Chain A
Amino acid sequence: MELFKKAVGIMTKSNFITATPKSKVSDIALAMISGEVSGIPVVDKDKKVMGIVTEFDIIRAVKQGKDIKNITTEDIMTKNPITINEDTPVSDITNILETKNIIRVMVVDNSGKLVGIVSRRDILKGVTEIEGAPQIWW
């Protein structure tokens, strides 16, 4: 159970979508709709975190009259997003999500490479596992 108290114990480690700064925003929109995710980490070739792009970034761009087929992720992403590491306590993560009004935070190693994501969903899964709930087999 101790494991659930740190990012590493609850983070999503694989099978999530990433984008690059040059990804077309229209492709990101489709990835979000098809992949049922609300935000996607933006990484460079070395998998270093460059930013994060969310549903609302795209909605805002469209509202501003931008053509999402002609703009790339770097035009609308949040640069230098908050990141954590595998040892960050879940209580700290919860505080970050709450005070910054964000849904997810990226987990990086010492060199800034992406190793996972912790979302509100991951926290909820972690805490219900503690409570002994039936779990989905991932």
Chain B
Amino acid sequence: MEVFQKAGGIMTKSNFVIVTPKTKVFDVALAIINGEVSGIPVVDDDKKVVGIITEFDIIRAIKKGKDIKVINTEEIMTKKPITVNEDTALIEIVDILETKHVIRVPVVDKSGKLVGIVSRRDVLKGITEFNGAPQIWL
């Protein structure tokens, strides 16, 4: 149970979508729709986290009249997003999600490389596992 109390114990470690700063926003929109995710980490060639791009960033861009087939992720992403590491306490992550109104935080190693994501969903899964609920086999 102890493991659930840190980011390392509840984070999504694999099978998630990432993009680069040069990814076309239109492709990101499709990835968000098809992948059923609401936000995607933006990484450079070394897998270092350089931003995060969300559904709402794209909606906002369209509202401003930008053509999402022409613009790249780096033009609308949030640069230098808040990150946590594998040892960040769950309680601290909950505070970040609540006070910053964010849905997810990327988890990075010491060099800033992406190693996972913790979303509200991951926190909820961790909590219900605590309570002995039936689990989805992932």
* Chain A residues near B (Cβ < 8 Å): 26, 29-30, 32-34, 36, 38, 55-56, 58-60, 62-63, 67-69, 91, 94, 97-98, 101, 103, 120-121, 123-125, 127-128, 131, 133-134, 136
Q: A32-B124, A101-B101 are in contact. Are A68 and B131 (CB under 8 A)?
A: yes
Q: Which one of A29, A98, A103 contacts B133 once the chains associate, using CB atoms below 8 Å?
A: A29
Q: In the assembly, what is the distance between CA of A62 and CA of B134, in Å?
A: 18
Q: A97-B56, A101-B101, A128-B33 are in contact. Are A33 and B127 (CB under 8 A)?
A: no
Q: How many residues of B contact A (CB 8 A)?
A: 34
Chain B residue with the shortest CB-CB distance to A102: B101
Q: Does B3 reach chain A (CB closer than 8 Å)?
A: no
**Among B32, B124, B127, B131, residue most surrounded by chain A Cβ atoms (within 10 Å):** B124
Q: In the assembly, what is the distance between CA of A133 and CA of B68, in Å?
A: 11
| A-B pairs under 8 A by CB, number | 93
Chain A residue with the shortest CB-CB distance to B127: A62
Q: What's the nearest-Cβ distance from chain A to residue B78, in Å?
A: 14
Q: In the assembly, what is the distance between CA of A121 and CA of B123, in Å?
A: 21
Chain A residue with the shortest CB-CB distance to B134: A30
Q: In the assembly, what is the distance between CA of A29 and CA of B128, in Å?
A: 7
Q: In the assembly, what is the distance between CA of A49 and CA of B81, in Å?
A: 36
Q: Does B94 contact A94, Cβ atoms closer than 8 Å?
A: no
Q: What's the nearest-Cβ distance from chain B to residue A6, in Å?
A: 16
Q: What's the nearest-Cβ distance from chain B to residue A58, in Å?
A: 6
| Chain B positions within 8 Å of A101 at CB level | 101
Q: In the assembly, what is the distance between CA of A124 and CA of B124, in Å?
A: 25
Q: Does B91 contact A33, Cβ atoms closer than 8 Å?
A: no
Q: Does B127 contact A26, Cβ atoms closer than 8 Å?
A: no
Q: In the assembly, what is the distance between CA of A38 and CA of B103, in Å?
A: 10
Q: Does B128 contact A33, Cβ atoms closer than 8 Å?
A: yes
